[in-house]
Structure 1
Amino acid sequence: MQSDSRPIGRKRNPIIEEARRRQIIDAAIETVAAVGYAQASLSRIAEHAQISKSVISYHFAGKDDLLEQVVTQIYDDMWAFIQARLETETTAAGMLSAYIRSNLGYLRSHRSRLLAVVDVVGNHRAPDGTPRFATTTDESVVTLLSEILRQGRHDGEFRHFDPQVVAVTVGQALIGAAGQWAADPTVDLAAYATELITLFDLATRK
């Protein structure tokens, strides 16, 4: 149960409270990226955010709750970044290219977020010991990519192929790129994206 450390009589300001939650989430991201999942205690996160541990306890039920919100926030922010670029495209080929480029482009600009989400997703467990998050291509990603690929087939841009198979392959290629960059920051993600775009263009075009 979260404690209520607010002064008596003071009303909640939802804008301030949301800003504080975002500050704590950002501090958790930086802490996990710096010291790893196992060492990212609430005390370390609070120290990084320059706040007391009780402030974190007010906004989050505990470390598990906070780290789950970290993953959710990163996924939401990344999707908003990708979606804005998909919406500027009018062809399936353009959307597929935009998805690949914006996916790796977001990661390139947010290395600490990549390191944090990979560590949390890989290590965070539910009470029964099972992984809390999927470590393979997310079903929603496969669905989105499949829809783009089906549209391209329908519009005559793409050859005949199984959209599900290609969608999973694109998703796994992006996971592989992210993993390689997480292990080696000298990997050129922009060049990697260009190669993947060319690869899947050649694989899907008529």
Structure 2
Amino acid sequence: MRANTRGRTFTESARRAQIVAAAIAVIAEHGYAAASFTRIAKHAGLSSTGMISYHFANKDDLIREVLIETTTVAADYMRPRMDAATGYAAKLRARLESNMELVRAHPDHVRALIEIALNAPKTPDFVDERFTLFATHLREGQQAGEFGPFHPEAMAVAIIGAIDATVRGLITFPDLDATQFGRELADTFERATRP
């Protein structure tokens, strides 16, 4: 899902990646609203904001690339665990557990993703996609007999809310055990969804 790099030189691609990495770090540390081109340029070690403007049309363009990078990193981290799981219930557990462990593995990416989701003027597409993904998974799991009777959309909202709250807790309290929290979260929704 990475952006199309066709037509860019290696140097241009490397510079864009450097700027995106700096933007992720700045958003994670200072928040979405404070992520100015000036602050990002300084963090990236660039002499001026002109280098950012050369590679990105505006802040929305840069944020779009940040979202591609952060969601790709998250998917690449979580996908192997989910792919290794068999069945709807096992895949839900794998997603919840690996999502919590992602907080420790890529904290800046997770913080930046949350900041953008909560503060960007336009809701990023991944917010709606995540809801649809969970609701569809739950509905198909019910049809397969792995989940009990409940409203799939309501349960999807509950799961997403629990994920977001738990992630924020892990970010706020870095000494908490993400693996244990993931296991507890998965146990909770295993009980809530079982037939």
Please state which band the TM-score falls in when normalised by the shorter chain: 0.7 to 0.9
* Percent identity of equivalent pairs: 34
1:133 to 123, 140, 154: 123
Matches within 5 A, 1:12-51: 13-51=8-46
1:111 is aligned to 2:107: yes
> Which sections of structure 2, spanning at least 5 residues, go unmatched?
1-6
TM-aligned CA deviation for residue 91 of structure 1: 0.7
Q: Is the 8 A contact 2:117 2:127 kept in 1?
A: no
1:180-204: CA deviation from partner (whole Å, max 9, x where unpaired): 2232223322211111111111112
Q: Is the 8 A contact 1:25 1:66 kept in 2?
A: yes
1:128 matched to which residue of 2? Answer: none
1:101-141: CA deviation from partner (whole Å, max 9, x where unpaired): 1222222211122222323333332xxxxxx1269x92322
> Which sections of structure 1, spanning at least 5 residues, go unmatched?
1-11, 126-131
Q: Is the 8 A contact 2:135 2:156 kept in 1?
A: yes
2:91 matched to which residue of 1? Answer: 95
2:54 matched to which residue of 1? Answer: 58
Q: Is the 8 A contact 2:103 2:170 kept in 1?
A: no
The higher-RCO structure (CA 8 Å, 6+ apart) is: 2
User: Is the alpha carbon distance of 1:45 and 1:190 closer, same or farther for their aligned partners in structure 2, counting shifts above 3 Å?
Assistant: same
TM-score (norm 1): 0.79
Count of residues in correspondence between the two structures = 188
User: Is the alpha carbon distance of 1:157 and 1:118 closer, same or farther for their aligned partners in structure 2, counting shifts above 3 Å?
Assistant: closer
User: Is the alpha carbon distance of 1:39 and 1:157 closer, same or farther for their aligned partners in structure 2, counting shifts above 3 Å?
Assistant: closer
Q: Is the 8 A contact 1:27 1:45 kept in 2?
A: yes
Give 3-state SS (helix, strand or coil) of 2:84's partner: coil
In the alignment, the residues of structure 1 paired with residue 134 and residue 34 of structure 2 have an alpha-carbon distance, to the nearest angstrom, of: 36
User: Is the alpha carbon distance of 1:186 and 1:170 closer, same or farther for their aligned partners in structure 2, counting shifts above 3 Å?
Assistant: same
Q: Is the 8 A contact 2:100 2:167 kept in 1?
A: yes
Q: Is the 8 A contact 1:31 1:48 kept in 2?
A: yes
TM-aligned CA deviation for residue 37 of structure 1: 3.0
Q: Is the 8 A contact 2:20 2:65 kept in 1?
A: yes
